[in-house]
Amino acid sequence: MPVEDCPPDHNRLQWTSAADALWKSIRDETPLPGTTPAPTPISTAGPVLTIPPDKISVYINNASGVTGRAGQAAAELGIQGFHITATATGTNLKQGVIVGYSSQNLHQVRTVAAA
């Protein structure tokens, strides 16, 4: 949010006139000023999920370096019906979420990735 000192009280900030363009973008659901629009996806339809969560066993390894992520993921996936076989904390730090699987589990991994 573009701000400037508030003249009557320099301990406060006020929006500048540039804030109007920001609010307009939010209202109109258009790209924010100074940004480029994201490319339009070709298709938003993902693969058809054919295996229900209660038929899938999941092993969760937290390699993020943030304590508690494996337990959090296990709880969230468990609520959705997945069977959690184990959780662990890894030491090989990774960025993002990696879903590893063997080729015969392609349909199961699609359900896990969607969750």
pLDDT confidence of residue 83: 95
pTM of the model: 0.55
> Residues 17-44: pLDDT tens digits?
888 888 888 888 888 888 877 776 666 6
Cα radius of gyration rounded to whole Å, the chain:
22
Residue 54, φ and ψ in degrees, nearest 5: -70, -5
Residue 48 lies in a domain: no
Do 15 and 67 lie in one domain? The reply is: no
Do 59 and 109 lie in one domain? The reply is: yes
Residue 46 lies in a domain: no
Residue 4 lies in a domain: yes
pLDDT confidence of residue 39: 73
Containing structural domain, residue 72: 53-114
Do 79 and 32 lie in one domain? The reply is: no
> Residues 31-84: pLDDT tens digits?
888 887 777 666 666 678 889 999 999 999 888 888 888 899 999 999 999 999
Answer for the pair 70, 61: CB distance below 8 angstroms, yes or no: yes
